[in-house]
């Protein structure tokens, strides 16, 4: 589904990704692990066309990627806290709405589709609450519903649970895995905790210094990713 091949990204002169190959299949939750600064976020941003790539290409279903095919979920959630949960989810559809119909409130079809997305993440009963009044875990599930309302084929999540407590983290990851398995989405999630990846991901990719050094079953040992090579005095 999503295929990154030979991706090289430089910030200025310094290469941050060195010809990285990563694929995520339909119906698969892929966890990307790696130490801070190993290039995980950069990989996601390259996939979403948010940083220029020096070399390599990104394809979705073998063809060129359409921006709307890729939905993003953020560590800091980024909902409009003062708006209702439903309005936040509807906003995921903006990319395909003409300007006119999106300024005078959302059309009924969109609101109903957004309700279905909320149902999908188990929060249909909170539709009219202010987004800011929900707990962190619930807000992240609303953000996932917003991503769904975009009708994506790929979901990219950068540390989606780093700001959440353990129970909420489990819930959000279980949700992402379920969306991959049931809806047939390709989900790529950057995670900080190998244990979470082992429990929920179908496959893990390990990055070290901008290179893929590990790709395979989620329950393998990933300690080498986080080891410090130079002795620290």
Ligand X SMILES: Nc1ncnc2c1ncn2[C@@H]1O[C@H](COP(=O)(O)OP(=O)(O)O)[C@@H](O)[C@H]1O
138 binds Mg ion (CB under 5 A): no
**Least distance in angstroms from the C-beta of 11 to ligand X:** 3
Residue 130 has phi, psi (to 5 degrees) of -70, 135
- Using CB under 8 A, pick the residue from 71, 157, 161, 176 that binds another protein: 71
Tokens of 159: 């540390």
User: In 3D, which of 149, 148, 153 has the Cα closest to residue 1?
Assistant: 153
- Which residue, 35 or 48, is less far from another protein as judged by CB? 48
> Is residue 169 part of the contact set for Mg ion (CB under 5 A)?
no
9, β-bridge pairs: 17
Site for another protein in 143-182 (CB under 8 A): 143, 146-147, 150
Binding partner at 80 among Mg ion, another protein, ligand X, none, C-beta below 5 to 8 Å by kind:
another protein
* Residue 121 DSSP symbol: T
How near is the Cβ of 164 to ligand X at its closest, in Å? 18
**Total of chain residues touching Mg ion, rule CB under 5 A:** 1
Applying the rule CB under 5 A, the residues between 29 and 48 that interact with Mg ion are 41
Angle between helices 108-120 and 136-149 (to 10 degrees): 130
- Residue showing the smallest CB distance to Mg ion in the complex: 41
Sheet holding 186-190, edge to edge: 70-73, 154-158, 186-190, 28-34, 203-208, 211-216
Q: How many Å apart are CA 50 and CA 184, to the nearest integer?
A: 25
Binds another protein by CB under 8 A, chosen from 62, 99, 108, 230: 99
Q: Count the residues in the chain.
A: 233
The minimum distance between CB 46 and Mg ion, in angstroms, equals 13
Residues 23-62 touching ligand X, rule: CB under 6 A, are 34, 36-42
Q: Are strands 55-60 and 63-64 parallel, antiparallel or unpaired?
A: antiparallel
If one asks whether residue 87 binds another protein (CB under 8 A), the answer comes out as yes
Task: Tell me: does residue 139 bind another protein (CB under 8 A).
Answer: no
CA atoms within 13 A on the CB side of 15: 13
Interacting span for another protein (CB under 8 A) from 13-21, 120-128, 140-148, 209-217: 140-148
φ and ψ of 193, to 5 deg? -110, 110
Instruction: State in angstroms the smallest separation of the CB of 92 from ligand X.
Output: 24
Instruction: Using CB under 5 A, list all residues that contact Mg ion.
Output: 41
């Amino acid at each position: 589904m999503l295929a990154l091949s030979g991706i090289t990204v430089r910030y200025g002169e310094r290469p941050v990704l060195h010809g990285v190959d990563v694929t995520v299949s339909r119906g698969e939750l892929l966890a990307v692990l790696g130490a801070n600064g190993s290039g995980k976020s950069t990989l996601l941003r390259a996939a979403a066309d948010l940083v220029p790539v020096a070399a390599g290409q990104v394809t979705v279903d073998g063809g060129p990627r359409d921006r709307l095919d890729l939905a993003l979920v953020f560590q800091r959630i980024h909902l409009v806290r003062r708006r209702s949960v439903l309005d936040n989810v509807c906003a995921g559809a903006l990319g395909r709405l003409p300007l006119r119909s999106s300024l005078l409130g959302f059309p009924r079809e969109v609101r109903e589709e957004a309700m279905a997305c909320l149902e999908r993440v188990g929060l249909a009963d909170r539709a009219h609450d202010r987004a800011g009044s929900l707990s962190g875990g619930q807000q992240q599930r609303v953000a996932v519903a917003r991503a769904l309302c975009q009708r994506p084929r790929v979901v990219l999540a950068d540390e989606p649970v780093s700001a959440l407590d353990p129970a909420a983290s489990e819930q959000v990851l279980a949700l992402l895995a379920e969306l991959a398995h049931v809806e047939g989405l390709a989900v790529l999630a950057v995670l900080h905790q190998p244990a979470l990846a082992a429990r929920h991901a179908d496959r893990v990719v390990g990055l070290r210094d901008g290179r893929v050094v590990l790709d395979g079953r989620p329950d393998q040992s990933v300690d080498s990713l986080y080891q410090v090579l130079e002795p620290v005095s």
